Structure formats: C-alpha cells, structure tokens
Amino acid sequence: MDKVFDFARDKMTKTIASLNSDYNAIRAGRANAAVLDPIRVDYWGVPTPINQMAAVSVTEARMLTIQPWDKSALKLIEKAIQASDLGINPQNDGR
C-alpha cells in the first residue's frame, strides 16, 4: 500500500511542477523572467540557460533587462533570443 501512495505522491509532485512551469510561461501583460527559461545559449559548446550566465531582471512592466556576467556572451544571448519562438525582440544598448 505504501508503494501506491509513494507512486501517487511522486506523480502528483511532477504534475504540480509541470503546471507551475506552464503558469510561468503565460504572458499576462507583465514581463516575467521565467519566459526565458526554455532558451538555451550555445556558450563554449554547451547549451546553457540564460539565467545561469546573466542577471535577468524586470525593469519595466513590459521589459526585461539581461546583464551577462561575461560581456562576450551578449551577442550569443541576443542570437538565442532571436532564434526562439517566443516572439520577443532583444535590444542591445551596448552596455
């Protein structure tokens, strides 16, 4: 009986995690840094999530600011965002 409960608990936990991930992807008018989570940047030959190579913050209601820790990765991040199907456009201010 414990195996059944453990199995059910595991499935429910995974379902809730998946639902939370789906909720984070909803674009409801306010910028959310979680929309960038599925994007991977080819950084030194390794697909790397943006949040592991840059600070991502919400600066305005509809604007995200990405500040890479390695400035040479800026073009790679820009290219990865453009290649994604999220429908967002990066603007590089040169900083």
Q: Domain 2-83 classified CATH 3.30.1360.40?
A: yes
pTM above 0.75, yes or no: no
C-alpha closest to that of 89 among 26, 21, 31, 24? 31
* Calpha distance 83→80 (Å, rounded): 5
Give the domain ranges of the chain.
Answer: 2-83
Is the Cα torsion angle 48, 49, 55, 61 positive or negative in sign? Answer: positive
| C-beta separation of 40 from 76 below 8 A | no
pLDDT one digit per residue (tens) for the chain, 95 residues: 789 999 999 999 999 998 887 776 676 677 778 888 888 999 988 999 998 999 998 888 888 899 999 988 999 999 999 998 888 888 887 66
